[in-house]
Copies of this chain bind each other. A is one copy, B any other.
């Protein structure tokens, strides 16, 4: 039995927030108040909760947040007009449109309307491309947070076999690009992968972003691997991830718990993107 190191996302995200507080104070000394515009369309309950968490984080760090709550009946053109207005506002540094949007609004069109220099979610195709070709741009918050978890836990990525399960636009693909940027040897696998266990067992660093509760058991994991669990599910009233934590924990060198692993990092990195944007745009 191995003593797996628990990667404490709660502590690391708090450390980051404290650092950001300092940066915000410096910006305010220069007369710049980092400002995030948060756009919520419709009445999705989960979205409301996410938005309130994001605004609370802003408040804690000292980022000014502007709320735009629009009705379920908002038309695409109205939303695009708002985004255009926010793009042109010099005192807005970040624009966040909470997804999903109501039916009848083309999400991709809305994302593409956001000025890439204010795209703190990192979802604009130009942001995605900038990450790939090594240019300045915002990085999707969850994979960006995972890189921070690894670095701040002193886990080397360079030369390591990194395997990502899942190829979503928000996690899997940008995760692969980030691990590659850190000089990992990167494999992306997915539902069409044959012998998935054979592939994941090669991983020194395994990132599970599949969306299936407790999918990754010890048969998927090499002894001593580092396991990062992106999933979050509620099963029988309890939270769990894509990884069967209890089954895997004795075999790995480090692992993120659910909750308290990757989850808290996403908002911390959103805050970090907002502060970066204020530093760049002034």
Interface residues of A (CB under 8 A from B): 108, 124-130, 132-135, 137, 158-159, 161, 167, 169, 173-174, 176-177, 180, 183, 185-190, 192-194, 199
Contacts and interface: CB of A to CB of B under 8 A. Distances in A.
A187 B179 CA distance: 12
A133 B121 CA distance: 14
A226 to B, nearest CB: 16
A129 B125 contact: yes
Contacts of A167: 180
A129 B190 CA distance: 20
- Ranked nearest first, the 9 interchain pairs of A and B with the lowest CB-CB distance are A129-B129, A125-B129, A128-B129, A187-B187, A183-B192, A133-B169, A185-B193, A126-B126, A125-B130
A185 to B, nearest CB: 4
A25 B187 CA distance: 43
28 contacts: A124-B129, A125-B126, A126-B126, A126-B129, A128-B128, A128-B129, A128-B132, A129-B129, A129-B130, A132-B173, A132-B174, A132-B177, A134-B169, A159-B193, A161-B199, A173-B177, A173-B180, A176-B176, A180-B188, A180-B190, A185-B188, A185-B189, A185-B192, A185-B194, A185-B199, A186-B187, A186-B188, A187-B187
